[in-house]
Every structure is written in C-alpha cells, then in structure tokens.
Amino acid sequence: MSLPPVELFTIAEARAFDRGQLADEARYPDAVIAEHRDRIAEDFAHICGVAFVPTEATVTVDGTGSDLLFVPHLRVQAVMQVAVRDRTAWVAWEADALADILVLPGGMLRREFLGAWPRGVQNIRVTYIHGYPTPPLAIKRAALKVLVSSAGAVSSNLPERATSFSDETGTFRLATPGLTPGSWYGIPEVDRVLQDYRERVPVLG
C-alpha cells in the first residue's frame, strides 16, 4: 500500500485564499508555500495529538502477550508491515497474518484469529498509516490562515510583543501565542478550531 498523496491544502488553494495575499509567485514561490504547509501540518498534529493528513509511521513497541497491541498514534488507518524480533533478526509477517489485524480506536491493534502478539520488550516493529483520510474543512481553513500570517503576508503596525491595544473605544487584550493556555497562534479562529479538534484517547468500558 502506498501513502495517499493528501495535503492540508494545495498550492492553488493557498494562492486564492482570503484576499490573494500569496498570489505573487515571485515573492511566494511554490517551494516556500510547501515548506510552510509541511511545518503547519507538523505543528497541528503536535497540538491536537493526531495527524490531519495520512501519515506513515514505523514504531517499535512492547509485545503484550495478548490479542491487543498499543501503538502511539491515534486514527490508525491501515497496517502495512509487521516484524517480530527473534534475537538479533527481524522476521516479517506474511500477508495472512497482516489480514488478521483489526484496527481499533485509540491506537489499538487486535489480532482476531491467529493468536496473541508475542510478549517481549521492544520486540514488535509496526509500519502503518495514521491520521485523517482528508483534512476537515475547518482545519484546512485554519492552516491557510496560519500560512498567510506566517508567510509575512499579513502586516500589522502593532509591536510583535504587544499583548493589548487601545483606541477611542477602550483597551483590548490580544490573543498572544503561548501567553495563555489554548492560545497557540494568537489567532482566535485558529486557536478555537485546534481546541475543538484535540484528540482524546477513548476509554474502553
């Protein structure tokens, strides 16, 4: 199975977003937009505890000796490879053993019919795809707003370290990144969406 070519947003979507601040290809080359997009995807995944695009991972975990195995990513889509350590060598599982694995919520893999996961310490290596099949529309919009801001396309006459501003109507507190819990970017719409999409590991009853 190959990794599906899914991104948080396309280059064309980035150039057309909002008022077209990134439309100038000379000032904002494709490579620059793609670099920012990859960083935003990593940051969003770190903040929310889940990838918003299909992401491949290979991890080595402890075998439980039961039918359940736990991996450190949520929303596992498919298991691609499994290998079990036999002393100094890794022995890959055949297709029938891979087909026996049932993916459960919360980063759990269950063997249905062919026995338990071999018990051991760091003795099972699993390669799988995890994350959302496609990014939710709210996450895509939030990522585009961060892109426009981080690429320098949004200008402001406020000092970089400002936490409030005043005008004739009063004094207002700014949403400053890192200053308060849940304020990752200081962009209210973005921070609210990220708070909404933070994953919680399901608890089995």
Q: Same domain, yes or no, for 172 and 117?
A: no
What percent of the chain lies above the pLDDT cut of 90? 72
Q: Same domain, yes or no, for 102 and 144?
A: no
Q: Looking at the domain assignment, is residue 6 inside a domain? A: no
Q: Same domain, yes or no, for 62 and 123?
A: yes
List per-block mean pLDDT (blocks of 10 residues) for the chain, which spans 205 residues.
Answer: 77 95 93 93 94 96 97 95 94 96 95 95 97 96 93 50 47 48 85 90 43
Give kind and range of the element (H or E) at residue 36. helix 30-48
pLDDT digits (tens, 9 = 90+) for 98-136: 999 999 998 999 999 999 999 999 999 999 999 999 999
Of 113, 130, 147, the domain-final residue: 130
Instruction: Determine the Cα–Cα distance for residues 108 and 154; give it in Å rounded to an integer.
Output: 42
Q: Which two tokens stand for residue 102?
A: 């049932």
Of 130, 155, 171, the domain-final residue: 130
Q: Looking at the domain assignment, is residue 117 inside a domain? A: yes
Q: Same domain, yes or no, for 144 and 124?
A: no
pLDDT digits (tens, 9 = 90+) for 165-178: 454 444 444 444 55
Q: Looking at the domain assignment, is residue 200 inside a domain? A: no
The pLDDT of residue 173 is: 45
Q: Are 121 and 62 in contact (CB under 8 A)?
A: yes
Residue range(s) defining the domain that contains residue 112: 55-130
The pLDDT of residue 149 is: 87
Q: Looking at the domain assignment, is residue 197 inside a domain? A: no
- Other Cβ atoms less than 10 A from the Cβ of 84: the count is 17
Radius of gyration of the chain measured on its C-alpha atoms: 22
